Amino acid sequence: MADEGDDDDGLYVIRSFSNDVDASLAEAVLEANGIPSTRISDDAGGMMPWLHSLHPIRLMVRRADVEIAVSLLDGNTPDETSQD
C-alpha cells in the first residue's frame, strides 16, 4: 500500500503503441504541454521493429501527471484539462 506522500513516485503506463511514429507523436504532445514522459520498448535496439506487435511501445508518465496526460492524448486542449 502506497503512502499518501508517494503521489509523484513511480511511472505509470498511459498508452501502448504498435509503432514508433505514433509513440513519438504522443510523447511530443506531452512534452509541448510540459509533461515529462518516457517510452519503453523492446525492439532489439531498433533492429527488429516487428517486435512491437508482440511487445508494444509503452508511454509512461509520473503518477501526478496521469490524469492530465491521458486527457491531452484524448484530444482535450490544455484549457479543458485541469491541472489541480
pLDDT digits (tens, 9 = 90+) for 19-38: 889 999 999 999 999 999 99
Confidence of residue 2 (pLDDT cuts 50, 70, 90): very low
| Per-residue confidence (pLDDT) for residue 4, from 0 to 100 | 52
Residue-range domains of the chain with CATH: 10-78 (3.30.70.1530)
Helices (H), the chain: 20-32, 66-73
> Which amino acid is it at 17?
F
pTM of the model: 0.75
